[in-house]
Structure 1
Amino acid sequence: MFGLLAGLVRIICWLNIIVGRVFSWLSLGIVLVCFTVVVQRYVFSVSYVWMQDLYIWLSGAMFTSVAGFALFRDDHVRVDLFYRPASVQRKAVIDLIGVVVFLLPSMYVVSAYSLPFVERAWSYKEASANVGGMPGLFILKTFILMFAGLIALQGIAMALRSILVLCGKEDLLPDHMRYPRKNHEISEVTA
């Protein structure tokens, strides 16, 4: 049973690692498109609304899709007053309670409220409200559901990892998926 839990943690973490690494490349596209827009506007006095939409949409797609990866890397903001100095077991309890009481319910709310919004956008293939803007806004709105799904999955992986720790089975996980013994250990492993 513990092997199955560790396997699920590995699968979910690797999914978020792959998605995070792929979609983090959008940051390069954002910089290039934004630079092009600025040069066109201030050097050539030309402006294209679709290009302005593009870098905003790329930003939205990137930040919503890499959120699960950021949670895996422990890059989200947290109150470290109690968490940082805590033992691994105490961190596991805090994470388990946090996932069950806060993270999963909030991701349910995000997905429940955004689903009709996304369905409506897909029903009429919503595009930019700006004249000359980008088509395909309905695709970007789908990233809201992707955000909620990837964060919820990573939350489940955190809860399962916490259970493994509390049952003394953390050794079933690879080192980079365990609780770090030092504060900088996660960024060194996954960078």
Structure 2
Amino acid sequence: MQEQIDPSELDITDELIAERRSAEPGNLPDDMPPWMANTISKIDAFSLIVGKTVCWMLVPMCLSMVYEVVARKYFLAPTMWAYDISRMLYGALFMLGAGYALSRGVHIRADFLYRNWSERAQGIVDTSLYLAFYFPGLFVFMWTSTDYAWTAVDRGERGMDTAWMPYMGPIKSVLPIGALLLLIQGVSETLKSFYAAYTGRWPR
């Protein structure tokens, strides 16, 4: 006989960490300074718009993959472009949606220690890590990826691993754009963590 699990005994700490960041933009505590609330709201609203726009890339990505499968299996007419289109759209979706994912707290986390800390301690650690590693790392990444993308555009670089040989400039350009979106959202997340460090509670 299958053992019944009491829902109250389930550890949902990780889910609660993500859930604390799932409120709609603008739903912030009344005691938060207006400049901070205004900045967070505008950035979160921007990331939400970007996320809703970027998600539409799923449609052409799925259509290209379905077309390739049908053409190859039933008409013996494989395409040269479907593979490249699908992987490029997937890469663009991943990079351009990263800022939105951060705003929703759905990036992969290693929370086996963090989740047991007080909210004040979490805020202090998050603020410190954003300032010490997140922003410097992303600035370096954006700088190098901008040069990487510009070189591809300037030289008319083409992919050499498939027969279609697509131009690589457009897809490489999403790297610095994605980094910029992460930097923008990082400002909002840093302010939220600073609020938690100062007040001992996360903005809901």
With the shorter chain as reference, the TM-score category is 0.7 to 0.9
Q: Give me the identity figure in percent.
A: 25
2:66 to 35, 54, 70: 35
| CA deviation vs aligned residue, 1:6-31 (integer Å, no higher than 9, x gap) | 21111111111111111112123222
1:16 to 47, 68, 92: 47
Shift of residue 100, structure 1, vs aligned partner: 1.1
Q: How many residues align?
A: 172
Contact kept in structure 2, 1:88 and 1:179, CA below 8 Å: no
1:141 to 146, 166, 172: 172
Change (3 A) 1:125 1:2: farther
Shift of residue 179, structure 1, vs aligned partner: 4.4
Is it true that 1:154 corresponds to 2:165 in the alignment? no
Shift of residue 90, structure 1, vs aligned partner: 1.8
User: Paired residue for 1:132?
Assistant: 164
Matched letter for residue 174 of structure 2: F
* Alignment TM-score, normalising by the size of structure 1: 0.80
1:5 to 36, 42, 50: 36
User: Paired residue for 2:152?
Assistant: 121
Structure having the higher Rg: 2
User: Paired residue for 1:67?
Assistant: 98
Say which SS state the counterpart of residue 24 (structure 1) adopts.
helix
Shift of residue 69, structure 1, vs aligned partner: 0.9
Shift of residue 168, structure 1, vs aligned partner: 3.4
Matched letter for residue 189 of structure 2: M
Q: Distance in 1 between matches of 2:125 and 2:48?
A: 23
Is it true that 1:168 corresponds to 2:199 in the alignment? yes
Q: Distance in 1 between matches of 2:93 and 2:100?
A: 11
| CA deviation vs aligned residue, 1:142-187 (integer Å, no higher than 9, x gap) | 11001111111211111111223334397xxxxxxx545xxxxxxx
Matched letter for residue 168 of structure 1: T
The aligned runs of 1:70-109 (5 Å cut-off) are: 70-109=101-140
| CA deviation vs aligned residue, 1:23-74 (integer Å, no higher than 9, x gap) | 1121232222111111111111112212221111110110100001111111
Q: Distance in 2 between matches of 1:85 and 1:4?
A: 31
2:88 to 57, 65, 71: 57
Q: Distance in 2 between matches of 1:28 and 1:131?
A: 24
Say which SS state the counterpart of residue 25 (structure 1) adopts.
helix
Q: Distance in 2 between matches of 1:79 and 1:169?
A: 21
Which ranges in structure 2 are unaligned for 5 or more consecutive residues? 1-31
Larger RCO (alpha carbons 8 Å, 6+ apart):
1
Shift of residue 75, structure 1, vs aligned partner: 0.8
* Alignment TM-score, normalising by the size of structure 2: 0.76
2:141 to 89, 110, 113: 110
Matched letter for residue 164 of structure 2: G
Q: Distance in 1 between matches of 2:81 and 2:98?
A: 26
Q: Distance in 1 between matches of 2:176 and 2:163?
A: 27
